[in-house]
Structure 1
Amino acid sequence: MTARLGVVALAGPNNGGTYQYTLAMLHGLQHVAGFDITLYGDRANPDFAELGYPIVPFEETRWQQVTALAAHRLHLGLSDPFASEDVLLAPIYSLALLHTAKPYAFTLHDLQENYYPQNFSTWQRIWRRETYAALLGRARRVICESRYVMADIARSFDVADERIKVIAAPPQRQFLTVQSDAELDAVRQRLHLPRRFLFYPAQFWVHKNHLRLIEAFSEVLKQAPDLQLVLTGKQRDEYRTVMDMVDRLGLSRSVVHVGFVERDELQAIYRLATALVMPSLFESISIPVYEAFLAGTPVIASGIHGIPEQVGDAALLFDPTSVAAIRDAILKVVGNEELARALTAKARERMLKMTPEHYGGQLQQLLDEMQD
């Protein structure tokens, strides 16, 4: 018998990693059997429309979220927008789930506020705590992408291990498509990319650790003067602080900021890069690491939180709080082609299991459990 599955997809293109995760889940669900799937989200989103699922227009404003949480705390029921479904899945949380009688699972991506409370206002910390506690209290299952986050959830909210499912989503498969030398060269020319460069695709948030990377890169140039550093990210948050350091250290000719790039351009940058460097101070899981793995780009990354579990022995890890450690790791990879090749070979092997089909099988098991 076919069951009705509602997928609550509130993330959009401006939501960065959670949007990529949402798309990965939707692609994985194409390999799930026994469910008629309806998507609750933005009907005008071309990525959603391309998947062919029926779409029910759905959004959730902050006011609606506050109302839903307050009503839940006061034991007041609101109308159930998912009443026609048998089971629900949410790639990011929706507070409308607090007012449904249907079994649901949602993904809790991280508890960064426990590690870097200074990155959040008091209101944001309270909101996260109250929201997660309420949703976890009613969820049939909660999904996360690493055992590190699983331990955080169990410890912080006293959730039984059997209710937490560690299911890592694969990255978008466009990084497996072949780009010709002419296409790669066109992107190089259009974005003014250097011949040899490190790549760091990240927004300019404090925990992304750009400042230590810039300082370490200034040291790297003393031994690898032909190397450059390419950054993406919008000109907001800590962007001006980072660029001021670039100017202060005399690196304006060696650091290239390309801003926002389209998907095909992003894929080309990975393929052209000498290595991906990921110095972040907090990651539950890093999508750029998976993208680099697929593109065949060596990875140099922080040895923190969920990253060691994610990369295994397929990346060179370093202490992101140490400028010297970042410098030494970069020099070790860019100066040793044999090591770089070994890392990419291990990454390729690691990604063989990270397919939409395998992911779909894991989602199938989760959904079947939720109906038992």
Structure 2
Amino acid sequence: MNTYLDQDKLKSSRTKIGIYLGSEPESGGMFQYGLSILDAAASLPKDRYKTIIACTTERWEEHLKFLGLEHFRISQNLLWRIFKGKGWLLLNLPISFWQRAFFNFNPAFSRRLIEESCSLWIFPSQDTWTYLLPLNSLGIIHDLMHRYERKFPEAAAPLEYLRREKHYRAICKYSRGILVDSNCGGKQVMESYKVHADRIHVLPYVPPGYINSQGHSINFDTKYELPRKFFFYPAQFWEHKNHHNLLAALAGLKREINDIHLVLVGSAKNAYKKTLEYLNSMDLSNNVTILGYVSSEDMPELYHRTRALIFPSFFGPTNIPPLEACATGCPMAVSNIYGMPEQLGDAALFFNPNAVDEMMNAMKRLWTDDDLCRQLSRNGKKRAALWNQNSFNGKFQTIIEDVARTADS
């Protein structure tokens, strides 16, 4: 038997999958989702799949080396990086024009991805490269909240709405398949862009692997100076994250529970200043702690120490922080929107994010009822065991096999 020929034959028969990573850790959910996709890619059978990773920043390096994934760094033309934001999508020119323009602006970048000859490329951050390159791509649509929550300017201001519409329509048109987070998310894609159900693949989120870590930074207690008992809300300060109603609920509870406390995590941008002004106007400066950006290393400890997660966001269909709460056994109360009841079941209390009184009631129950918190904690851990990274990896492989098969046919 010629071992070398057999190895060459095995290599040539493997399905080659490419993954493009363009997000940064500060992008939050996008980066976390990328980590889940990487773990799933690393779990693919080596005798059937070869995976190559293209990344734009060295900040992915430690994860890629740990998983043993072959990778290379790649950068875009500076002029294109300046131009590729919102502007080109808002110009009334066909995508075919921009496909040619992109190749001319970025010939080295384009050839590098094309010459890998992958059966399928995956773009976890919903990148425009999903359709700007002549590749078989697996598109991803995390949400269509610009359509379903049009009152929030960060998603549905006129120009932003047009940009998102053109972007998501192109993903739907040019992708071989589309990943969504839930049955609700799949339904929204189908009804919005008339996508056939066969092209929709539901792959629910999982919490990032670091959430199961038992360690934290040595100086954790001096770095954060947390109160003994507190609610926790990790979210950037976007309007749709609903800090306004959360603070209103907290102010209402303060009249009954003087020592009630809320800890927020998020960078000082977007609606941060507006949130701070409202917080001070409600006389809550002694009841709210804002930690700013918190490293992945310290997040699990915050879930372990908090009384409960409060998640009043208006956006879905589903979200990652409640899954982190499930994994850590953290009780929670969340918005009863879109796919959230599907995602969490009996692991959470639910409330209308528009109804401050409902939010107050849920928070009061969590603050005062130890038995309820213990039950929700147990339910969350059971739910986390039913759908975890191993489950995600298995479903990912099934989807890859399905989409790659249609791409090769």
Q: State the TM-score, normalizing by the size of structure 1.
A: 0.92
Distance 2:339 2:99 in 1: 38
Asked if the contact 1:188/1:194 (under 8 Å) is kept, the reply is no
Shift of 1:99: 4.7
Asked if the contact 2:98/2:132 (under 8 Å) is kept, the reply is no
Aligned to 1:131: 167
Asked if the contact 1:197/1:229 (under 8 Å) is kept, the reply is yes
Pair 1:149–1:52, CA change in 2 (3 A)? same
Aligned residues: 369
Q: Deviation string for 1:123-142 (max 9, x for gaps)?
A: 22111111211221121110
Aligned to 1:82: 114
Shift of 1:228: 0.7
Q: Deviation string for 1:18-59 (max 9, x for gaps)?
A: 111011110122211221111111251233443332223234
Asked if the contact 2:40/2:393 (under 8 Å) is kept, the reply is yes
Which protein has the larger Cα radius of gyration, Structure 1 or Structure 2? 2
Asked if the contact 1:146/1:306 (under 8 Å) is kept, the reply is yes
Letter of the aligned partner of 2:16 in structure 1? R
SS of structure 2 residue aligned to 1:155: helix
Q: Mark the runs of 5 or more structure 2 residues left unpaired by the alignment.
A: 1-12, 104-109
Matches within 5 A, 1:39-188: 39-42=53-56, 44-45=58-59, 46=61, 47-59=63-75, 61=81, 63-64=83-84, 72-74=95-97, 77=100, 78=103, 81-83=113-115, 84-118=117-151, 119=153, 120-179=156-215, 186-188=219-221
Q: Deviation string for 1:180-239 (max 9, x for gaps)?
A: xxx699523421100000001111110111111111001112332222110111112221
Distance 1:148 1:300 in 2: 20
Asked if the contact 1:276/1:292 (under 8 Å) is kept, the reply is yes
Q: Which moved more, 1:232-241 or 1:58-67?
A: 58-67
Letter of the aligned partner of 1:36 in structure 2? K
Q: Give the superposed CA RMSD.
A: 2.2
Pair 1:62–1:20, CA change in 2 (3 A)? farther
Structure 1 vs Structure 2: percent identity of aligned residues?
24
Distance 1:337 1:140 in 2: 49
Aligned to 2:6: none
Distance 1:207 1:30 in 2: 34
Distance 1:85 1:260 in 2: 37
Question: Which of the residues 386, 392, 405 maps onto 1:359?
Answer: 392
Q: Deviation string for 1:322-341 (max 9, x for gaps)?
A: 11011001011221111111
SS of structure 2 residue aligned to 1:371: helix
- The yes-or-no answer on 1:327 pairing with 2:360 is yes
Distance 2:366 2:66 in 1: 40
Distance 1:188 1:16 in 2: 23
Aligned to 2:35: 23
Distance 2:245 2:218 in 1: 31
Letter of the aligned partner of 1:38 in structure 2? I
Asked if the contact 2:44/2:397 (under 8 Å) is kept, the reply is yes
Shift of 1:62: 5.8
Shift of 1:4: 1.1
Q: Mark the runs of 5 or more structure 1 residues left unpaired by the alignment.
A: none
Asked if the contact 1:88/1:103 (under 8 Å) is kept, the reply is yes
Asked if the contact 1:184/1:272 (under 8 Å) is kept, the reply is no
Aligned to 1:9: 21
SS of structure 1 residue aligned to 2:346: coil
Question: Which of the residues 292, 296, 299 maps onto 1:259?
Answer: 292
Asked if the contact 1:184/1:268 (under 8 Å) is kept, the reply is no
